[in-house]
Structure 1
Amino acid sequence: MIENLDPQQAWAVLQDNPAAVMIDVRTSIEHSFVGHPPKAIHVAWKEFPGMQLNPYFVEQVQQHAPDKTAPVLLLCRSGVRSVDAAKALETAGYRHLINILDGFEGPLDEHKHRNTVGGWRFHGLPWQQS
């Protein structure tokens, strides 16, 4: 089952459940330069150049989240790639998947800017840059 939680709810899960793991499915560049939540484990769903699907995604997640019953939270830029990544993990047998709605940067606003109407950073949750 894939659950959808807003960033504040996802942060609460991470605080309340020490077994919970957050997987940042964005590209390496997004994770490093745009920023990421503390302790977010980077495993790209798609990567530059060409935004090719990572054929080792499930295997790489399993290295960081071997317990398929523990909560696995998935984060991308705006909450789209993370859904696809969650579906792949569900097929691989993960049982408690959480898609973080609006992702790290949130949706585009009327001026085509992110971080102004939603997302992890918009809500003032902890984050850092590499």
Structure 2
Amino acid sequence: MSAAYKGDVSASECWSALGDTPEAFLVDVRTAAEWTFVGIPELSALGKQPILIEWQSYPTMAVDPAFPQRVAEAIAAAGGTQASPVYFLCRSGARSMASAAALTAAGFENCFNVADGFEGPADADGHRGTRAGWKAAGLPWVQR
């Protein structure tokens, strides 16, 4: 666990927290291409939708300097506050770790990193989504 944000959680722990805590949010920080071609978490069974805001944009992969403000506005628009639990998700847990730290630095009190992300690490054949992460945990997801 990093001092820069509240902590790391598994995808299953994130799903449970989103279901148990009405004021909790999931922010998917991957790129628009990843959302389109790989899929996004499906939260409708929990009465929620993921917040989709890129941490970095392809092709430069430069960090969006407006990211903290954009997330803060999306959470406020959905009825959340800086005290709301916010779970950050990327492909494998690296971008989401950085984004959780950035939101903590911006004043959010309960930021969590989904440690293995949406697809987790690659397996022996170089495929993702089979060993760990949202997909491997069998959690709901869709392709748009």
Fold conserved (TM > 0.5)? yes
Establish whether residue 81 from structure 1 lines up as the match of residue 91 from structure 2: no
Amino acid at match of 1:53: V
**SS of aligned partner of 1:65:** helix
> 1: CA distance between counterparts of 2:15 and 2:7?
14
Match of 1:58 among 45, 68, 75: 68
Q: How does 1:1-130 map to 2 (within 5 A)?
A: 1-38=5-42, 39-66=49-76, 67-130=81-144
> 1: CA distance between counterparts of 2:35 and 2:67?
16
- What is the RMSD of the two structures over their aligned residues, measured on CA atoms? 0.9
Equivalent residues, number: 130
% same residue: 41
Amino acid at match of 2:62: Q
**SS of aligned partner of 2:130:** coil
> 2: CA distance between counterparts of 1:32 and 1:19?
26
TM-fit CA distance, 1:114 = 0.6
**SS of aligned partner of 1:98:** strand
> 2: CA distance between counterparts of 1:12 and 1:116?
21
**TM-score w.r.t. structure 2 length?**
0.87
**SS of aligned partner of 2:141:** coil
> 1: CA distance between counterparts of 2:36 and 2:19?
23
Q: Which runs of 5+ in 1 are unaligned?
A: none
Amino acid at match of 1:91: A
Amino acid at match of 1:35: G
TM-fit CA distance, 1:64 = 1.5
List structure 1 segments (4+ residues) > 4 angstroms apart after TM superposition. none
Amino acid at match of 2:33: I
> 2: CA distance between counterparts of 1:106 and 1:21?
20
TM-fit CA distance, 1:2 = 2.1
Is 59-68 or 17-26 further displaced after alignment?
A: 59-68
Amino acid at match of 1:46: Q
> 2: CA distance between counterparts of 1:31 and 1:17?
25
TM-fit CA distance, 1:57 = 0.3
Amino acid at match of 1:75: L
